[in-house]
Copies of this chain bind each other. A is one copy, B any other.
Amino acid sequence: MQNSEAMALSAALLAVAGELTRRIHDGVVARGFEGVRPVHGYAFARLAPDGATVTELAVHLGVTKQAASQLVDELVRKGYAERRPHPGDARARLVVLTEAGWACARAAEEAAAEAVRAWGDVLGEAQVHALREGLLRITPDGPIRPAW
């Protein structure tokens, strides 16, 4: 594959990622959740199952724990999360989603599903499925970072 083809693929991937982010954000706002930024979605993804500590969240997002702590401050202030004592470690605090936080996460899922549905209209269900399988196989481990 030529460099120019690799660049075209890269550019397309990044453009689609940017557009997807915008659509999810717009969809979440349209469902009545204000003051949320795209990065909050990635925090929700880590907090959703059983909560997480600030340090775990920092690793997930690829930022300092101070930055993660500030982000949690913001989520708490806006009513999407709360800090609880950590069972088994008196130093730590377990950050969990509130009911509003869960509702916001569901709204993000719906918005993502809408965006993916639009791709289905262009590509067809089978190709979207193939896209998903292909991407899942090259998905890296490690922290989730902003695309630039």
Copies of this protein chain in the complex: 2
Residue of B14, B42, B136 near A21 (CB, 8 A) is B14
Q: Which residue of B lies closest to A110 (CB)?
A: B3
Tier of interface size on chain A: 35 or more
Tell which of B9, B37, B115 touches A135, judged by Cβ atoms closer than 8 Å.
B9
Are the C-beta atoms of A5 and B144 separated by less than 8 Å? Answer: no
| A131 at the B interface (CB under 8 A) | yes
Would A116 and B15 count as touching, CB distance under 8 A? Answer: no
Decide if A137 is an interface residue (CB 8 Å cutoff). Answer: yes
Is A18 within 8 A of B146, CB to CB?
yes
Contacts of A119 in B (CB 8 A): 138
Task: Give A contacts to B, CB under 8 Å.
Answer: 1-22, 24-25, 37-39, 41-42, 45, 108-110, 112-113, 115-120, 122-123, 125, 127-128, 130-132, 134-140, 142, 144-148
Question: Is A7 in contact with B140, judged by CB distance below 8 angstroms?
Answer: no
- Is the CB–CB distance between A13 and B19 below 8 Å? no
Give the chain B neighbours of A118 by CB distance below 8 A: 138
Contact B109 A15, beta carbon cutoff 8 Å: no
